[in-house]
A and B are shown apart, each in its own frame.
Chain A
Amino acid sequence: MKLPAYPALALLASIATSALAAPTQYPLTVQNCGKALTFDQAPVRAVTIGQAGTELFYALGLGDRLVGTSLWFDAVKPEYAALNAKVERLANNEPSFEAVIGKRPQLVAVQFEWMVGPQGAVGTREQFHDLNIPTYLMPSDCVGKDNLKGADGTRLQAFDINTLYTSVLELAKIFDVDHRGQALVADYKARLARAAARAQASAVKAPTAVVWFSSAALATDPFVAGQQGVADYLLNAVGIRNVVTSTEEWPTVGWETLAKANPDFIVIARMERRRFPADDYQKKLAFLKSDPVTRNMDAVKHDRILIVDADALQASTRLFDGIEQLAEAREHYRP
């Protein structure tokens, strides 16, 4: 059995960087999405709004610092199920302001700006900061993104994977587990490099794809991944071109346009949410195979439909699972 060289490298890298990791000096000030957060000590009580942040806490071994979670899109990753069972779930969707502050958190980690932005669904950052509760907003949702434009915000510049690494490193720093953050980022970078290498080795130069998240009604114009968003980053990471040209995060684009673009792959999102009929990936599949137009698309005829977790299409630690899935599909793609 031949061992790939990359994990060994990654391990080396992580050992090397861990050596650089130093205990955090408090008071620590972190610049986060336009706000300066100051910590006199590592927080011991934290609340998360958004599954990406919640699972990042578990990945950093900080499960014991969590006193509340909220905004769930899917079941927790199986390896964190036991940890997660011990943490109170404040709400499946967005929690109320009082449910969050009632936990007396010393940090609230937030996945999306619309939860705590100027029109925050939970409350504004100012409201939290007035109570001396710092809100850490995942940089992926604020760097290069205008969240007041478009339904799910509009990217001013393409999603940058470094913003995800920043959130890992900064949270690790805040909680004085710098070395774990460094190791985690090294591992992610190695996985990304491996996936990119697989894609490079593929015979097909630049295949195309569309990412279908959901639709308001089954046959209506679907919500698909726009340019520059996280899902678009996943495609680019393995050398697949997005056929959708809008720069909104999740624009609606007609099936006529998508069918004429006739992408090599159709990526459909799998999620637990069941509010639109098209949330169910099996209904998406059934539609693609039965609609008189979509059933003639190459990706449908040749069964190049990829079912990817909706969470892998967000700036979360699951993103790398999605990239690996796409890399594998591209590797095996023979036109």
Chain B
Amino acid sequence: MRPGWGWSLLLLSGALLAATAMGETALPFGQVLKVLANQLAGAHYPLDPIDVGIVWNYRLPRALVAAACGAGLAICGVILQALLRNPLAEPYLLGISAGASTGAVLVSVLGIGGGLISLSVGSFLGALLAFTLVIVLARASRASGSAGLIILAGIASSQLFNALTAFVIARSANAEQARGILFWLMGNLSGVRWPAVALAVPVALLGLGVCWWQRRALDAFTFGADSAASLGVSVRQLQVLLMTCAALVTAVMVSLVGSIGFVGLVIPHAVRLRVGPGHGLLVPLSALAGAVFLMAADVLSRQLIKGQALPIGVITALVGAPVFAALLLHGSHRR
């Protein structure tokens, strides 16, 4: 176990450095290192202030938020797949991305909040509202507690909020504007600066911490709520704690960077294929894989078309789907 942590940290820092070195424009690697030396170690290399700004204020925060976001979403996927015992469970299943879109559209298109509420706050509130609706629906039902019910409630809530978003856009947006919203909905890290890091990294670490602390309970849940109860897990409390944790982490990430698909669904499966279902390994490795994957996807999104950026959600699906397919094939061969 011990040397594994060292390797993980090394991989993570290597990916961070690579993501900071590769951007839309070509900066010499030495230049990037000098900027980091100036900022982190108090060196005094004479540098172009634009280069400094690009590395320190654009690329590094962007890479850190991509890492936090990838780790956070992967963790949420692990939680939900265990709690709901459904391989298709993913962070957006709880209606969070649909609710976030509605919140964002209400703020930006209808101008609700009169400029006092930002796009991020609007989408965060929308996400929480949609999640609350899911929980209320699932609770109010007679067959409360069943995993399938939460999934159904999530689908209902997603449909409702997606319809609201479509309604608002169709009613009052023009083409240029509909495009802007679409871009945001597919995930966009271009507006990320240091304040986003201060929010995303602690939230991701919190999610990881809760998950790690409850790893044995998550193992128990994998065999169903009833068997978890028979193993002495206080099912109801833990369900609420973990579900709320997943919802909060996802809502924060969505509000910062839009809804980036695929990470929360696929990363836990990919990791599970390699290391098995035990959460002691699954939780930290999913976080690591999610972080590295999203940083790589973000780099690609800026490199694929010269001089123009693609929505990162497009990349995560375009690159992630074939990689996952290969993993599936590989996994089935070994079995």
A217-B191, A259-B53, A293-B53 as given contacts; A252 in contact with B308, CB under 8 Å: yes
The answer to whether B175 and A256 touch across the interface, beta carbons within 8 angstroms, is no
A251-B308, A257-B24 as given contacts; A274 in contact with B180, CB under 8 Å: no
Query: Is A135 in contact with chain B by the CB < 8 A criterion?
Result: no
Query: Is A162 in contact with chain B by the CB < 8 A criterion?
Result: no
Query: Is B188 in contact with chain A by the CB < 8 A criterion?
Result: yes
Kindly supply a per-residue 1/0 record for chain B positions 303-318, scoring 1 wherever the CB is within 8 Å of any chain A CB and 0 otherwise: 0001111000000000
Number of interface residues of B (CB under 8 A): 38
**Shortest distance from the beta carbon of A70 to any chain B beta carbon, whole Å:** 12
Query: Is B41 in contact with chain A by the CB < 8 A criterion?
Result: no
The answer to whether A256 and B54 touch across the interface, beta carbons within 8 angstroms, is yes
**Shortest distance from the beta carbon of B60 to any chain A beta carbon, whole Å:** 12
The answer to whether A262 and B308 touch across the interface, beta carbons within 8 angstroms, is no
Query: Is A197 in contact with chain B by the CB < 8 A criterion?
Result: no
Query: Is A320 in contact with chain B by the CB < 8 A criterion?
Result: no
Kindly supply a per-residue 1/0 record for chain A positions 239-262, scoring 1 wherever the CB is within 8 Å of any chain B CB and 0 otherwise: 000001110001111111101101
Residue in B49, B53, B119 whose Cβ sees the most chain A Cβ within 10 Å: B53
Q: Which residue from chain B places its CB closest to the CB of A250 in the assembled complex? A: B176
Query: Is A132 in contact with chain B by the CB < 8 A criterion?
Result: no
A262 to B54, CA, bound (A): 13
Query: Is B13 in contact with chain A by the CB < 8 A criterion?
Result: no
A254-B309, A293-B57, A293-B58 as given contacts; A151 in contact with B119, CB under 8 Å: no
Query: Is A94 in contact with chain B by the CB < 8 A criterion?
Result: yes
Query: Is A39 in contact with chain B by the CB < 8 A criterion?
Result: no
Q: Which residue from chain A places its CB closest to the CB of B110 in the assembled complex? A: A275
Q: A residues within 8 A CB of B173?
A: 275
Kindly supply a per-residue 1/0 record for chain B positions 291-330, scoring 1 wherever the CB is within 8 Å of any chain A CB and 0 otherwise: 0000000000010001111000000000000000000000
Within 8 A of A (CB), among B55-79: 56-59
Query: Is B174 in contact with chain A by the CB < 8 A criterion?
Result: yes
Q: Which residue from chain A places its CB closest to the CB of B59 in the assembled complex? A: A256
Q: B residues within 8 A CB of A246?
A: 307-308
Q: B residues within 8 A CB of A93?
A: 172, 174
Query: Is B162 in contact with chain A by the CB < 8 A criterion?
Result: no
Query: Is A220 in contact with chain B by the CB < 8 A criterion?
Result: yes
Q: A residues within 8 A CB of B118?
A: 217
The answer to whether A245 and B119 touch across the interface, beta carbons within 8 angstroms, is no
Within 8 A of A (CB), among B95-152: 108-109, 111, 115, 118-119
Within 8 A of A (CB), among B197-218: none
The answer to whether A254 and B24 touch across the interface, beta carbons within 8 angstroms, is yes
**A–B complex contacts, Cβ < 8 Å, 11 sampled:** A93-B172, A216-B181, A223-B176, A253-B307, A254-B190, A254-B309, A256-B25, A274-B111, A275-B173, A275-B177, A293-B50
Using a CB–CB cutoff of 8 Å, the interface residues on chain B facing chain A are 23-25, 49-50, 53-54, 56-59, 108-109, 111, 115, 118-119, 172-177, 179-181, 183-184, 188, 190-193, 302, 306-309
